[in-house]
Chain A
Amino acid sequence: MRSSFACRLAVSNVRQNRKFYLPYILASIGMIMMFYIVAYLASSKDLSKMPGAEYITFLMDIGVVMIGVFAVIFLFYINNFLMKRRMREIGLYNVLGMEKKHIGKILFIENFITSVISIAAGILLGIVFSKLVHMILAKIMGFDLPIHFRISGFAIAVTALLFGVIFLLVLLKNQMKIHLANPVELLRGSNAGEKEPKVRHILTVIGIICLGSGYVMAVAVKDPLHAVLLFMIAVFLVIAGTYLLFTTVSIAILKRLQKNKKYYYTPSHFTAVSGMLYRMKQNAVGMANICILSTMVLVMVSTTMCLNSAVTGIIDQATPKDITVSGMRSSYSSADSQYTVKEAEKIIGALKSSGEKHGVTISGIEYYRICTVKNSNDMCSLISSADYEKITGKKIDLQDDEVLAGGKLKLGSSNTLYGHALKIKEQKNDLGLGGTVAGINEAVLVGNENGVLKDVIRDAQKSGNVSSSQIIILCDSNGSLEQNKAVTEELNSGAGIVKATYFNANYREEVSNQFYGFTGGFLFLGIFLGIVFTFAAALIIYYKQISEGYYDKEKFEIFRKVGMSREEMKKSIRSQVLLVFFAPLAVAAVHVGFAFNIVYRMLTLFSITNISLFFSCTLITFAIFTVIYASVYAVTSREYYKIVK
């Protein structure tokens, strides 16, 4: 076969199948564009100069990996879909006397054309939009830095390489498939999925167990750190459970309905149950994909939205006053492990003199000290009753051997800590310290400084069990941004004011920049990936609508001839199609509902305790997503009805 002929054939194939190829190419372009932009941002020098840049760059790196992995899965999935549609045509070529190597050649040219177009257009659009996205990112983070238009050679190379390899693998897979198939199989190809699905009991049970245990984990977890650990496991279980739910559990249920003759042999159930059985077989994986993508979008966007809208509150908590100085030392074996009042005064002195030097009046100074000791496998923070009163504003009256216990404090059976008996005057989960001061563990012990606390610290220290000691000094300042900056910089450079492993003075704006960098970057990535996933879900929906359409067209005719009225038929098919398309969204909503607790627990790590804020963020995200989903459905169902009519 001459190459020019193969070329012409390939080009005309792509053109004739444009109903299938165009969305594929557009999706590839979109995916490549998004990938380029994230890769560009990850390697951008402008971005790394922004305040809070280290988080952004890190988050963009995560984005690069996520989109890359997703692109591989997604492009393979869509390609499967395309090939299934085209099997008959390829089989016909084969039967008409084209050798498999000729078909392979045509496929190669086709793939080459679509790949080159996708990669070139994707990178081009990526370059065009990268500046816009960069500006949006800066805006979200609240910075007004000049942004230069740059083209990142590195990002281009990475993008082209990654997608080149993906397309090559897709091509190899198609070639293999054709080589292994015989012409008759190929001819039958697009009808292959019509075998009746079988009930697979073991997988059904596994599916229910996966989903159930994922849900239980997500709902039961209380501790934020456990939540982070369990989150990945729960996500994995729920993803596995979702696939099994759609592929096997649904079929088991439908089969059961079919066995019930009284239920099954009535006009509405008869067509619906068997129709759904068939559709589930064809669409189960697609539906599971849509469901998982939707869940990801919903969780990601609602979480980042919540983070971003709570960020001012977080900053208020992290830096309640204009300037914060914190010192920490860890694993000191000498007697000076706990910061003393003298040391606190030394720092305050340095702060004041530095203030005077830069023309700033320092006022409203507060300080408190925290000592963290090991307690079996956990950490326990020790706070003096005087500091406790300062932080919470509550008066407490403790005897020297009395303590307040808070959070998850677990003591031995005889209520001893390092050999000292503790009289617990009061124990409750929330002592009112949570989220107020950075560096306080969940397990807290409050006692008089010169009482039992002192003995505990001393003996913990002897056995090398003091993990860290902290001092935090807060104050107001009447200075400008530059003055505050100068004061904190001077304090930071004058190391050795007190002994410390870590010593840092910062002013409010510095902290808020870091936070905005972090949460803004998060929000950006959340929305960005949300768009990518929504994109993908929309495309899967489109392909499903079209294939359903071709199938239903035949079915429509037969039903009409057997004596089902047009209206009955429309109603039945419409309800099935609606079910197929909105079931994934409904399941996603259930997933999000169950994920609420675990995500909320993780958010408390960022000092977000406003549960109603998170709730409304979730609700808003869900509402917006539903509108997008429904409009995708509306647009694509037009294609569907065009085919059916």
Chain B
Amino acid sequence: MSILQVKNLKKIYTTRFGGAQVQALRDVSFSVGEGEYVAIMGESGSGKTTLLNILASLDRPTGGEVLLNGREITTISEKEISAFRRENMGFVFQNFNLLDTFSIKDNILLPLVLAEKPIDEMEAKLAPLAQKLGIHDILPKFPYEVSGGQKQRAAAARALITDPQILLADEPTGALDSNAADGLLKLFAQVNREGQTILMVTHSVKAASTAGRVLFIKDGEVFHQIYRADKSDEDMFAKISETLTVIAMGGVQDAK
């Protein structure tokens, strides 16, 4: 059963004085099944970020629809959207987006606090999650006191603590060194095995090669996709690199 369905998504940016129009998304359709781990790849300017922003309901499309668990999210009112986002989606960003004014613990609890959960329930949820992500000993520290990898794991904890329908990740390894990146990707694979649906936008081949399926976007359209089937990470890596080369050469759609 698919948890996320994207149908004929279009996004056109109009410059402020109504002059030039830029088509960021031409016609994007795909779906993500429950428990799937999907990576979306594309060059800068291919429309990746626009797509993620629309999926995250931070931006509205010009046309098309996005269904999360069968619910059309592009029509949810501005009033409800924040609560909806909070309850159904988790986010991990390239630059962590942790608040310096909160301790790591408070950063992770933030979505639950906004959802007005009692403190006992929050702490009961936090303890096992922090243990799993290996951040239990840095909980009282502040973001500026911990390393990038720890920050990103804290951000992942914040995303996961609400048990979201889908975890959206935007270049999660972009600001990490390769060690920390590997750690985070392992973590993603692990929570995915435990049933968490993940959609990740990236242009790191390494990051994409851990996913179950890779979508390629070019010029605002889904250009190609690769299924893992029973390939190893290394095979995926090779396959993705090959595809990217073909795209870069101006390759033909569904070249195979």
A562 is an interface residue with CB less than 8 A from chain B: yes
Determine the residue in chain B with the shortest Cβ distance to A561: B91
| Candidate in B86, B91, B102 with the most chain A CB atoms within 10 angstroms | B102
CB distance from A582 to the nearest CB of B (A): 21
Q: List 13 A-B contacts (CB under 8 A).
A: A191-B144, A265-B113, A266-B113, A555-B99, A561-B58, A561-B91, A561-B97, A563-B83, A563-B85, A563-B89, A563-B111, A564-B82, A565-B83
Pick from A194, A563, A566: contact of B144, CB under 8 Å: A194
Chain A, range 269-314, C-beta contacts under 8 Å to B:
270, 274-275, 277-278
Instruction: Answer whether A195 and B114 are a contact pair too, CB < 8 Å, given A265-B119, A275-B101, A564-B82.
Output: no
Determine the residue in chain B with the shortest Cβ distance to A188: B144
> For chain B, what secondary structure do more than half of its interface residues adopt (helix, strand, loop), or is it mixed?
helix
B122 is an interface residue with CB less than 8 A from chain A: yes
Residues of A with C-beta under 8 A to B175? none
B100 is an interface residue with CB less than 8 A from chain A: yes
Contact A566 B78 (CB under 8 A): yes
B116 is an interface residue with CB less than 8 A from chain A: yes
Q: How far is the CA of A97 from the CA of B203 in the complex (A)?
A: 33
Contact A563 B86 (CB under 8 A): yes
A558 is an interface residue with CB less than 8 A from chain B: yes
A196 is an interface residue with CB less than 8 A from chain B: yes
A267 is an interface residue with CB less than 8 A from chain B: yes
Q: How far is the CA of A194 from the CA of B142 in the complex (A)?
A: 10
Q: How far is the CA of A558 from the CA of B96 in the complex (A)?
A: 9
Residues of B with C-beta under 8 A to A148? none
CB distance from B228 to the nearest CB of A (A): 29
B222 is an interface residue with CB less than 8 A from chain A: no
CB distance from A362 to the nearest CB of B (A): 80
A49 is an interface residue with CB less than 8 A from chain B: no
Taking Cβ atoms with an 8 Å cutoff, the residues of A that contact B are 191, 194-196, 261-262, 265-267, 270, 274-275, 277-278, 555, 557-568
Determine the residue in chain B with the shortest Cβ distance to A270: B113
The 5 closest A-B pairs by CB, nearest first: A563-B86, A565-B82, A278-B101, A558-B97, A265-B119
CB distance from B91 to the nearest CB of A (A): 6
Pick from B81, B111, B122: contact of A562, CB under 8 Å: B111
Pick from B56, B83, B86, B100: contact of A194, CB under 8 Å: B100
Residues of B with C-beta under 8 A to A266? 113, 116
Interface flags, B123-162, vs A, CB<8A=1, else 0? 0000000000000000000101000000000000010000
Residues of A with C-beta under 8 A to B106? 270, 274
Contact A267 B114 (CB under 8 A): yes
Q: How far is the CA of A466 from the CA of B36 in the complex (A)?
A: 105
Contact A568 B101 (CB under 8 A): no
Q: How far is the CA of A267 from the CA of B158 in the complex (A)?
A: 16
Pick from A195, A278, A561, A565: contact of B56, CB under 8 Å: A561
